[in-house]
Amino acid sequence: MSGKSAKGPRTPDAERRRAYRRLLLGNPGAVRRPLLFLALAIIVASIVSPSFFTVRNAVAVLTSSSFLIVVAAGEAFVVLVGMIDLGVESVFAACGMFAAWLYVIQRQSTGVTVLLTLLLGIAIGLVAGLLVTRARIPSFIVTLGTYWGFRGLALLFNGGNYISPNAVSPIRPFGFSGIAGNLGAIPILIVVMVGVVAVGQVVMTFTPFGTWVKATGSSEEAARAVGIRTFVIKMAVFSCSGVAAALGGLMITAWQDSIYPLTGQGYSLEAIAGVILGGIPFSGGRGSIVGAAIGALVIGVINDVIVLVGLPALYEYIFVAVILVLAGLQTRGGSFVK
């Protein structure tokens, strides 16, 4: 049997090409890769729609993308261990409905509403993590169940109708609507989004937990061999995804000043697409929260361009499909951008 690899010998030209790719794109999982995708998306958007490249539109894109970016940041933790969470959009909508139901219908205080909503997100993640680790059900199946179950739960609140401050008399404005306001000239939603991404990246880069997450994604057997309790790590990352989706639900409820049971449709696949586009492979083990956030922002840019050029919203699904293919190419082994 030949000692050469199945891909053939590495000639000087091939090595040179790999070196050029690494110089341009960085190592697999590096932030440089999603940044390149973002730059290309912005260039194309500016050509297609001259009104795109304005400060006002940039703020609008960041604000409208903040919900997806927060959800993608939570999803990134799950994908980093080599698993998937398909239920984030339903948790997103159900937690938003739960918060509105608590505050408007049940007339709870702002603090209680926010706390219980975030705790609900954490609890959902913990249950999903337990089913994956202890019942040994694949994450795809567990979170597909989460997707359908919490979509139904969102519909149960208020009989499938939306909830807004006008749902009761006298009107009861959301006590947490301040997060949809401004901090000077900057929307608070953007501040929250940046804070979530920054905290997530700090955790992944500078804490033992981040090292354990990547170790579990790289090789679960090796991680267990060195004493990492991988089942705890998996439960923790699902909790991160759950609380991020719950926070996103609170954010969009405040922004819309109402919440619908079907809010966030498509967010699960868009969040996953953003994560993969951000350089985190499905096998896990490498990548960053910042990269996932940039990947989600690319999707936000594309959605904004669809609106600016007047295309039907259905085109969003086509573009997301293209993004998923590109994301798969840029995280695969071998050629293209690796």
Q: List pLDDT tens digits, range 189-212.
A: 999 999 999 999 999 999 999 999
Q: Could you confirm whether domain 28-331 is CATH 1.10.3470? A: yes
CB atoms inside a 10 Å sphere around CB 51: 11
**Mind spelling out the 3-state secondary structure of 270-332?**
HHHHHHHHCCCCCCCCCCCHHHHHHHHHHHHHHHHHHHHCCCCCCHHHHHHHHHHHHHHHHHC
What does each C-alpha distance from 300 to 38, 45, 80, 325 come to in angstroms? 10, 11, 22, 17
Of 147, 144, 176, whose CA–CA distance to 256 is shortest? 176
Longest pairwise C-alpha distance within the chain: 82
Rounded CA separation 211/222 (Å):
13
Taking only the tens of pLDDT, the chain with its 338 residues reads: 444 444 455 676 666 666 655 655 556 667 888 898 899 889 988 898 888 888 999 999 999 999 999 999 999 999 999 999 999 999 999 999 999 999 999 999 999 999 999 999 999 999 999 999 999 999 999 999 999 999 999 998 888 899 999 989 899 999 999 999 999 889 999 999 999 999 999 999 999 999 999 999 999 999 999 999 999 999 999 999 999 999 999 999 999 999 999 999 889 989 998 999 898 988 888 899 999 999 999 999 988 888 888 887 777 778 777 777 766 665 554 433 33
pLDDT for 217: 93
Contact 262, 308 (CB under 8 A): no
* DSSP per residue, 25-84: H-STT-THHHHHHHHHHHHHHHHH-GGGSSHHHHHHHHHHHHHHHHHHHHHHHHHHTT--
Contact 75, 245 (CB under 8 A): no
The amino acid occupying position 56 is R
- What pTM was computed for the model? 0.89
∠ CA 170-172-175, rounded to 5°: 160
Q: What's phi and psi for 259, nearest 5 deg?
A: -145, 140
